[in-house]
């Protein structure tokens, strides 16, 4: 058994980085330090996470035509239940952004309107994404649960979230748990269809 493990580790050590093809990557991630940092920050070692500033402005203009108050009420009840359902990292992150972290206006940083605006912006992005590493799922998951492409002042700061925000797998989990199961994808599809964007 130990001989097999040694062979496995040696084979990993002799491979090249999956991002830049350099020698001697980390044997677990198979990425060099530089590519691994990019992967944690952007969801891909090769393709930078888009800023989406233009797309967010487009999304804001589109959403001015829609009344989301009823959907907002239903989603807030669902999110309250989800955020308190367990002590998982994603549940905790949702509690932080949707309830605990407040902006200068005293309102939580995230709500359904913010999530729809951000996910709509992702859907409007026409640039290249890393399909192999499911960067589109990473972006939709991140846009559904935290601020994306925007900066807001936070009472007390949010430095305690730095490490959590550098976990691409967490946001790919959010793609299923929040974007799909929370009804954001369904509402987004309805808006895109009404706007003739499908």
pLDDT digit string (tens) for 34-51? 999 999 999 999 999 999
Q: Write down the pLDDT at residue 163.
A: 87
* pLDDT average, residue stretch 62-87: 94
Does 69 score more than 90 pLDDT?
yes
User: How confident is the model over 100-130, as pLDDT tens digits?
Assistant: 988 888 899 999 999 999 999 999 999 999 9
Supply angle C-alpha 91, 99, 63, rounded to 5.
Answer: 100
Looking at the chain, the whole-number percentage of residues with pLDDT higher than 90 is 68
Q: What is the pLDDT of residues 142-178, one digit of tens each?
A: 999 999 866 665 555 666 788 889 999 999 999 999 9
Q: What per-residue confidence (pLDDT) applies to 29?
A: 81
Q: How far is 92 from 105, CA to CA, in rounded Å? A: 22
- Give residue 56's pLDDT: 95
Domain boundaries, the chain: 50-194
What pLDDT shows up at residue 71?
A: 96
H helices present in 84-183, as ranges: 89-95, 112-124, 135-145, 168-174
Confidence of residue 3 (pLDDT cuts 50, 70, 90): low
Average pLDDT (172-198) is: 96
Window from 1-5, 61-65, 96-100, 164-168 with minimum mean pLDDT: 1-5
Q: Which of 36 and 13 is assigned the larger pLDDT? A: 36
Task: Give dist(CA 62, CA 43) in Å, integer.
Answer: 27
CA atoms within 13 Å, Cβ hemisphere of 86: 4
């Amino acid at each position: 058994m130990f001989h097999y493990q040694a062979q496995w580790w040696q084979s990993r050590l002799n491979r090249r980085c999956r991002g830049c093809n350099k020698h001697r990557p980390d044997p677990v991630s198979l990425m060099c330090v530089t590519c691994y940092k990019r992967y944690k920050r952007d969801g891909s070692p090769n393709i930078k996470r888009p800023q989406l500033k233009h797309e967010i402005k487009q999304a804001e203009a589109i959403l001015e035509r829609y009344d989301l108050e009823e959907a907002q009420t239903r989603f807030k009840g669902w999110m309250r239940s989800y955020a308190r359902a367990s002590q998982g990292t994603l549940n905790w992150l949702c509690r932080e952004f949707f309830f605990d972290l407040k902006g200068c206006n005293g309102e939580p940083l995230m709500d359904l309107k913010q999530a729809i605006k951000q996910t709509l912006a992702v859907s409007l992005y026409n640039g290249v994404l890393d399909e192999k590493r499911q960067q589109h799922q990473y972006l939709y998951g991140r846009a559904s649960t935290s601020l994306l492409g925007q900066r807001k002042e936070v009472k007390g700061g949010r430095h305690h979230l730095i490490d959590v925000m550098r976990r691409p797998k967490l946001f790919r989990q959010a793609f299923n748990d929040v974007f799909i199961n929370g009804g954001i994808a369904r509402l987004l599809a309805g808006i895109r269809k009404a706007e003739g964007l499908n």
